[in-house]
Every structure is written in structure tokens, then in C-alpha cells.
Amino acid sequence: ARRNYQQALDIKIEYGDRHSYASTYHQLGKVAEELQEYEQARRNYQQALDIYIEYGDRYSCASTYHQLGIVAQELREFEEARRNYQQALDIFIEFGDRYACASTYFHLGKLAEELGELESAKANYLQALQITAEFNDEHGLGISLRNLARFYQVTKDESLLAAVSEIFGVSVEEVRQLFEK
């Protein structure tokens, strides 16, 4: 994948198609991230972000900020992660892309949980669940529900059950049974 993306970047550079470098740098960042080469991932994402900013492509910045948040969190740079996730979320909201917000809320929840900010984690996890439910995203719902079940096992927060029951219009007992499986 890296070789192919690098070849694509070389061709774009040869033809001077600077704006399109950004998406290729972003993909190179994803490859490096998958390989746990976080500093390389950060450099590639930052290259992409700089080009998006240079061309005034604000919407495209959002997914790159999101990925920079993931990298910062992996590097345990928690405040940097929070800033990047918040930037991504602000842009998604600005552009009315509610569906894209779900993943960023989920990652903000993971970050808050890692920092011991359990109320914030719960609020972000529930926001992600609400959005995936609105869009009937079965894959996202599965991830959110498994994560919330895990979170409930850790916190035993009964208000979590009530919130999930409200989102789905089922009883608290039904949610409890689901989460305690």
C-alpha cells in the first residue's frame, strides 16, 4: 500500500497537482498508523492538513484532525488528542455532517475514559450511540453497544442503562440483560 501511495504521490508531484497531494499524504498517514509508525503517521497527516489549509479546503481538514487525534492519543499526548478531536468535531458540525461526528464522539469518549473523566466519557459514548442509531448504522451500533456494555461493566452506572433504554425505546431491564451477557 505504501509503495502504491508513494507512486501516486510521485505522479501527482510530477504533474504539479498540489491539492491532490493532501489525500495521498492522508492515506500514507493511515498506512503508517496501521504499522504503528506514529511519528511517520503524524508527519504525513500534518502534510495533508497543511495542504488542505493552504487551499482553503476546511471540510477535508476534519478527517485529518480526527486521525491526528488518534495518533496523539496513541502517543499519550492527551491534550493534543483532545484538541485535534475537537477541531474535527467542530468542522463536522459546521458542515452539518452529523454522521461523521459519531466516530469523533466515540474517540472523545475513549480519551475521556482513559483520563478517568467518566461522566464525559459516558456523554460522548451516548452521543455516538444516538447518531449511529439515527442513521441505522448497524456496524457502528454494534461497536457502540459492545463498548457501552464494557463501560457499564466497569462503571456499574445505572444512568447509562436508562439513557440507552431511552434511545432505543426499550426497558432498562432489557438493556441490563443485553449488557450483562
Q: Which of 8-12, 48-52, 165-169 has the lowest mean pLDDT?
A: 8-12
Superfamily of domain 1-96, CATH level 4: Tetratricopeptide repeat domain (1.25.40.10)
**Domain 99-181 classification at class level:** mainly alpha
- For residue 138, CA distances in Å to 101, 146, 147 come to 16, 12, 14
What is the pLDDT, as a whole number, of residue 98?
97
- Prediction pTM value: 0.93
Give mean pLDDT, residues 84-92.
Answer: 98
CATH fold match for the domains 1-96 and 99-181: yes
> How sure is the predictor about 157, in pLDDT bands with cuts at 50, 70 and 90?
very high
Show me where the domains of the chain are located.
1-96, 99-181
- For residue 85, CA distances in Å to 8, 15, 61, 150 come to 28, 33, 11, 23
